[in-house]
Amino acid sequence: MKSKRFILSIVLLALIAAVTFAGCNDDNGGADTPTVATEDVQTIGQGATVFRFEMIDENEAVSAWDVHTDETTVGAALLDVGLIAGEESEWGLMVMEVDGVVADWDANQSFWAFYVDGGFAMAGVDETDIESGVTYAFVYTQG
């Protein structure tokens, strides 16, 4: 059962990656992401572990947080501080809302793409362990 879930997760991630990259139509092919000035980074949560989380919304505006947590996965930490919301599915947590911004595939073919250090994540947010010095991001994407 676990290997079946793993295979389904990989297939879903590959599909999301294909949709994400097919929709890249900016001048640089989507290679660069906007940066956030240090003074604009918000601090949220409590705990011994700290990681950077960024959100790029539908207008390409960037918001960033230094998340303090005692959780071990990015998903659990972001749920705990209220930055994300979603639904459990057979593939794990499907994030539908980030910092109050909703992505709705049924309404306009939008979704939240999950990135780790600027690259498309190879696992879901609820399966991604927090690593020191790594930046995690959700990017509003329309397919």
List the structure tokens of 57. 């919304």
Q: What is the pTM of this model?
A: 0.74
Number of domains observed in the structure of the chain: 1
Query: How far apart, in whole angstroms, are the C-alpha atoms of residue 83 and residue 79?
Result: 6
Residue 97 three-state SS: strand
Q: Which ranges constitute the DSSP H helices of the chain?
A: 2-22, 74-80, 105-108
Position 21: which residue type? F
Element (H, E) at 107: helix 105-108
CATH number of the structural domain spanning residue 123: 2.170.130.30
pLDDT by residue for the chain (143 residues), tens digit each?
554 454 445 544 444 544 444 444 443 334 444 555 566 899 999 999 999 999 999 999 999 999 999 999 999 999 999 999 999 999 999 999 999 999 999 999 999 999 999 999 999 999 999 998 999 999 999 98
The whole domain housing 136 covers 2-142
